Chain A
Amino acid sequence: EAQVTQNPRYLITVTGKKLTVTCSQNMNHEYMSWYRQDPGLGLRQIYYSMNVEVTDKGDVPEGYKVSRKEKRNFPLILESPSPNQTSLYFCASSGAADTQYFGPGTRLTVL
């Protein structure tokens, strides 16, 4: 089954404790993206990757890092999480000039 998976689905952590949210797709897509979704603000892009070792900032990249060492994986790294990063995070992937397919989401709470 073609899908985008994220782990963990739910995470509660404390300020400053580094964390990684994993994202994996099995569709051999070149493009992958991370979004955060906040009430009243909709979906905002954090980072995206057009291919292996190629990443670029989205609209709200501050406080986040990504890497794309292999095509199927695109982890989101929060080196020092802060409460304003409490949000619902979505990973998405797409083939060239194709629609994006979204993962199920990761709900992160930073205390």
Chain B
Amino acid sequence: GESVGLHLPTLSVQEGDNSIINCAYSNSASDYFIWYKQESGKGPQFIIDIRSNMDKRQGQRVTVLLNKTVKHLSLQIAATQPGDSAVYFCAENIRGGSEKLVFGKGTKLTVNP
């Protein structure tokens, strides 16, 4: 079946380094993608989204890249901080909105001081 997955379940980086979290999706009809951050004991929090008519989108310290050719999504975090330590999920939606999302299993990012 269609699925959203992650290449790496864990990622450990030094404070100040850049982080890259990857995600592979298999549904070629997906047209909307979101990255969420989930801190321990909390619900997922929206970070950034991108639609399929774009290849790149930037936010504050974060950039999402979409490669539709290989069905790959990545989240780049610049100058990673201890507060960035969390589990990061990518999610896809095939209807253009976010009412029905399929989530990846998550990557745990640990930022070492």
Q: Point out residues on A near B: beta carbons under 8 Å.
A: 4, 31, 33, 35, 40-45, 48, 50, 58-59, 90, 92, 94, 96-105
Contact = CB atoms under 8 A, between A and B. Distances in A.
Contact of A98 (B45, B97, B100, B104): B97
A99 B99 contact: no
B27 interface: no
B106 A42 contact: yes
B101 interface: yes
B49 interface: yes
A97 to B, nearest CB: 4
A103 B44 CA distance: 8
B105 interface: yes
A99 B103 contact: no
Most buried by A among B41, B45, B101: B101
A40 B101 contact: no
Contact of B100 (A45, A103, A104): A45
B52 to A, nearest CB: 13
Contact of B44 (A40, A41, A90): A90
Contact of B104 (A40, A42, A59, A100): A42
28 contacts: A31-B97, A33-B99, A33-B100, A40-B105, A41-B105, A42-B89, A42-B105, A42-B106, A43-B91, A45-B101, A45-B102, A48-B99, A58-B100, A59-B102, A92-B44, A94-B98, A98-B97, A98-B98, A99-B34, A99-B49, A100-B46, A100-B99, A101-B46, A102-B36, A102-B43, A104-B42, A105-B41, A105-B43
Interface of B: 34, 36, 41-46, 49, 89, 91, 96-106
Contacts of A48: 99-100
B105 A99 contact: no
A44 B91 CA distance: 11
Contacts of B97: 31, 94, 96-98
B104 to A, nearest CB: 6
Given A31-B97, A94-B97, A99 B43 contact: no
B39 to A, nearest CB: 11
Nearest to A35: B103
